[in-house]
């Protein structure tokens, strides 16, 4: 198989973790007789420095022309004082919009080897943590109108949170389809007791639910969901929710699994050209020190192989290799526990590559 991959290393630890993911992809390519061609493009802060914009047209064109896109991370204190539409994060939102990627899947799965790293009580962890959040990506408050104006002598900021019935229905369907492939349980999360957008969300979800009688379906308010994720995460299989709620809940979910550095994500639209990235940020405090955990990015590459290229066996080989490395007690600094060996970012990539 020959495929083209757009590579957006980004900022902070982005180049380090993406480098290890590419190492793994090359090992897979050699073992299974594939050829992956890489197109390296700028996004975020590095794009601002080089091109004066967080999302150059060249990057958009390159991602649209690729078969899939692998991303590291964007942002950092260097660019914190820029205007909102010039910040690195605008590049990330922009590329999702340009590629029409409206569905983000973020698994929250606790590796048994990292059980001691979870901040939750042992009896909660022992019940199991294995759910996935389906987050809508191109609507809601992140893409609504934003303005700050002066009214009666003081500044007033306004952010609009729009959602159409079509936008809600298509992401809810992905939630149901995902649940059908798992344990057939879906929780739709909203704030229907306050927001009109959530009331439309709930009505749409309930309508679509009638088409999936095999799936156990429930609505849940977002504040309750945030509490339930730490109280009883075993109750969840698939959570579907809107953009901002999903952003917050997935970060919470990642921490109960022991390390935010372990969690991958995929963003897809109508086709197979998706965007794959770890859910953590650019971690500028450790950038360039070879300390970062590359596993979330490596598992994102595994998702890329599975969802964009249809290479299930190759994807499973990466996941199996990660499990073997963890079973050997090999860790990076963010997930260390007693009796384990701490590896650098490069050493972790090498260890996983050797297992494959």
251 is catalytic: yes
Sheet of 2-10, strands arranged across:
35-41, 2-10, 68-73, 275-278, 264-268, 103-109, 130-136, 238-241, 185-190, 216-221
Q: What is the pLDDT of residues 299-353, one digit of tens each?
A: 999 999 999 999 999 999 999 999 999 999 999 998 888 889 999 999 999 999 9
At residue 227, φ and ψ (nearest 5 deg) are -70, -40
Match 């936008």 to its residue by tokens.
167
Structural domain of 148: 119-256
Asked whether residue 197 falls in the same domain as residue 324, the answer is no
Percent of the chain surpassing pLDDT 90? 87
Residue 294 lies in a domain: yes
64-107 pLDDT, tens digit per residue, is 999 999 999 999 999 998 887 889 999 998 999 899 999 999 99
Exactly one of 11, 67, 142, 163 is catalytic; which is it?
A: 142
The answer to whether residue 191 is catalytic is yes
Q: Report the number of distinct structural domains present in the chain.
A: 2
Residue 49 designated active-site:
no
pLDDT at 132 over 90: yes
Tell me, yes or no, whether 230 and 276 share the same domain: no
Choose, from 191, 276, 307, 334, the residue flagged as catalytic: 191
Predicted local confidence at residue 217, as pLDDT: 98
pLDDT band at 184 (very low <50, low <70, confident <90, very high): very high
Looking at the predicted structure, is the pLDDT value of residue 20 above 90?
A: yes
- What are the phi and psi torsion angles at 159 (to 5°)? -125, 125
**182 plus 63 within the same structural domain:** no
Residues 302 and 207 in one domain: no
Q: Are residues 150 and 240 in the same domain?
A: yes
pLDDT digits (tens, 9 = 90+) for 34-48: 999 999 999 999 999
120-126 average pLDDT score: 93
Q: Do 287 and 213 fall into the same domain?
A: no
CA dihedral in degrees (171, 175, 181, 185; nearest 10)? -170
Band (pLDDT 50/70/90 cuts) for residue 259 is: confident
Q: Which of 78, 130, 251, 324 is catalytic?
A: 251
Lowest mean pLDDT among 23-27, 106-110, 165-169, 234-238: 106-110
Sequential DSSP letters for 133-183: EEEE-SSSTTTS-EEEEEETTEEEEEE-----HHHHHHHHHHHHHHHHTTT
Total H helices, total E strands in the chain: 12, 14
Judge residue 249's burial from the number of C-beta atoms within 10 Å of its C-beta, 0-12 exposed, 13-18 middle, 19 or more buried: buried
Please say if the pLDDT value at position 117 is more than 90.
Answer: no
Q: Select which of 223, 285, 328, 341 is catalytic.
A: 223
List Cβ neighbours of 24 (8 Å cut-off, separation of 6 or more): 298, 301, 318, 349, 352, 353, 356
Please report the pLDDT score of residue 178 as a whole number.
Answer: 92
Residue 113 lies in a domain: no
213 shares its domain with 286: no
| pLDDT at residue 355 is higher than 90 | yes
Domain stop point among 206, 222, 256: 256
Q: Which of 11, 190, 247, 334 is catalytic?
A: 247
Considering the domain architecture, whether residues 235 and 271 belong to the same structural domain is answered as no
**φ/ψ of residue 82, rounded to 5:** -75, 160
Query: What pLDDT is stored for residue 206 in this prediction?
Result: 98
Q: Decide if 28 contacts 305 (C-beta within 8 A).
A: yes
DSSP alpha helices (H): ranges in 232-344?
Answer: 243-256, 295-307, 312-327
Where is the domain boundary, 239, 256, 273? 256
User: Within this chain, do residues 251 and 148 fall inside the same structural domain, yes or no?
Assistant: yes
Residue 129: which of 105, 106, 111, 109 has the closest Cα? 109
State the pLDDT confidence band at 123, using cuts at 50, 70 and 90: very high
Report if residue 350 sits inside a domain.
Answer: yes
Q: Does residue 246 share a domain with residue 123?
A: yes
Give the CA distances from residue 10 to residues 54, 279, 349, in Å, rounded to whole numbers and listed in that order.
10, 14, 19
Short-list 48, 47, 42, CA closest to 81: 48
Domain with residue 183: its CATH number is 3.40.718.10
Q: Are residues 238 and 131 in the same domain?
A: yes
11 is catalytic: no
Domain boundary among 256, 281, 297: 256
57 with 156, same domain: the answer is no
């Amino acid at each position: 198989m020959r495929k083209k991959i757009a590579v957006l290393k980004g900022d902070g630890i982005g180049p380090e973790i993406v480098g290890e993911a590419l190492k793994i992809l090359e090992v897979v390519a050699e073992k299974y007789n594939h050829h992956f061609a890489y197109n390296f493009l700028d996004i975020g802060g590095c794009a601002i420095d080089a091109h004066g914009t967080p999302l150059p047209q060249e990057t958009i064109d390159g991602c649209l022309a690729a078969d899939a896109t692998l991303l590291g991370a964007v942002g950092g204190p260097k660019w914190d004082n820029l205007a909102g539409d010039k910040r690195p994060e605008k590049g990330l939102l922009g590329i999702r919009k340009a590629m029409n990627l409206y569905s983000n899947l973020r698994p929250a799965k606790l590796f048994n080897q990292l059980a001691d790293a979870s901040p939750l009580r042992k009896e909660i962890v022992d019940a199991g943590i294995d759910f996935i959040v389906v987050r809508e990506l191109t609507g809601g408050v992140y893409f609504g109108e934003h303005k700050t104006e002066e009214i009666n002598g003081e500044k007033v900021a306004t952010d609009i949170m729009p959602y159409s019935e079509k936008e809600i229905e298509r992401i809810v369907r992905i939630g149901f389809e995902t649940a059908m492939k798992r344990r057939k349980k879906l929780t739709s999360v909203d704030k229907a007791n306050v927001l009109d957008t959530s009331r439309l969300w709930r009505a749409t979800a309930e309508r679509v639910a009638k088409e999936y009688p095999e799936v156990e379906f429930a609505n849940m308010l977002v504040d309750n969901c945030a509490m339930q994720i730490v109280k009883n995460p075993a109750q969840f299989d698939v959570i579907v929710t809107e953009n901002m709620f999903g952003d917050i809940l997935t970060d919470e979910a990642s921490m109960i699994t022991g390390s935010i550095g372990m969690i991958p994500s995929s963003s897809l639209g109508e086709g197979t050209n998706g965007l794959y990235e770890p859910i953590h940020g650019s971690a500028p405090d450790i950038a360039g020190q070879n300390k970062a955990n590359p596993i979330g990015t490596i598992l994102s590459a595994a998702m890329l192989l599975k969802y964009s290229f249809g290479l299930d066996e190759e994807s499973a080989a990466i996941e199996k290799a990660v499990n073997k490395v963890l079973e050997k007690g090999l860790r990076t600094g963010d997930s260390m526990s007693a009796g384990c060996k701490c590896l650098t970012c490069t050493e972790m990539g090498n260890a996983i590559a050797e297992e494959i």
